[in-house]
């Protein structure tokens, strides 16, 4: 059975709106898989989906994170025009805002591999390939330091350029990654990013010293994810 994978770019969209949109597709897929298990002779195919978007200023805290890592009061959040949400992904606190490429893969891993760490590795490979195409050398961090990093081996210069946080149930994924392209890094000063207080955060713009065309980054990233996961084509 050929597994269909859809792609959509939702542009700038409020976090809660996109979270609800993700959940709708996520529960549709997990419910279908449960139904298929009980009705194998009438099984209906699932469909995976890769969503690209960006959000207005927002901080999100994973289920294992510490709220103390948000350094703003409720009134200060409003002053900075930012929202705050507790969510069901892994990881600690992170920031989303304009100038990021946020990727939400809602994938049925039955059609790829039953290994969430391998899935994240593949996505990190795709992001590192895109960064390399711009002349930015990067690597994944060791255990406990998820995401894509620059100069991680140098404690004084280590900086994260892409954060990850995912949730999986019945081998269906949701949430994903946030690649800093032209991100306003000032917003990271109001949190302890990912609960790590001795590492910096960066962006493609900061590394290259110029604004980067986000449409082109998206095209390259979509292509690299397709190759990394062996997707024949997006629909």
Task: Give catalytic residues, as residue numbers.
Answer: 194
Q: For residue 183, give the nearest of 152, 157, 217 by alpha carbon.
A: 217
Length of the chain: 235
Strand, coil or helix: 70: strand
Q: Round to whole Å and give the CA distance between 168 and 184.
A: 30
Angle between helices 116-133 and 214-229 (to 10 degrees): 140
Which residues have CB under 8 Å from 65's CB, separation 6+? Answer: 91, 92, 93, 195
Q: For residue 33, give the nearest of 114, 118, 120 by alpha carbon.
A: 114
Which residue has tokens 């330091």? 145
Rg (CA), the chain: 18
Q: Round to whole Å and give the CA distance between 173 and 128.
A: 21
H/E element, 34: helix 15-38
């Amino acid at each position: 059975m050929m597994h269909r994978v859809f792609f959509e770019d939702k542009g700038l969209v409020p976090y809660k709106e996109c979270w609800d949109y993700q959940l709708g597709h996520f529960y549709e897929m997990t419910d279908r898989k449960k139904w298929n298990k009980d009705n194998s002779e009438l099984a209906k195919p699932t469909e995976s989906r890769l969503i690209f978007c960006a959000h207005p200023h927002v901080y999100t805290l994973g289920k294992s994170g510490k709220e103390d890592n948000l350094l703003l009061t409720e009134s200060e959040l409003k002053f900075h025009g930012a929202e705050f949400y507790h969510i069901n992904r892994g990881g600690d606190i992170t920031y989303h805002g304009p100038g990021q490429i946020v990727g939400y893969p809602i994938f049925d891993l039955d059609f790829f591999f039953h290994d969430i760490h391998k899935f994240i590795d593949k996505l990190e490979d795709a992001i590192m390939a895109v960064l390399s195409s711009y002349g930015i050398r990067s690597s994944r961090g060791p255990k406990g330091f998820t995401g894509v990093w620059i100069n991680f081996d140098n404690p004084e210069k280590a900086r994260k350029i892409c954060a990850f946080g995912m949730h999986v149930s019945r081998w269906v994924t949701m949430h994903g990654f946030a690649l800093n392209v032209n991100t306003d890094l000032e917003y990271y000063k109001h949190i302890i990013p990912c609960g790590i207080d001795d590492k910096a955060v960066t962006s493609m713009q900061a590394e290259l010293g110029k604004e980067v065309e986000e449409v082109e980054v998206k095209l390259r990233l979509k292509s690299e994810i397709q190759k990394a996961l062996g997707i024949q084509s997006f629909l």
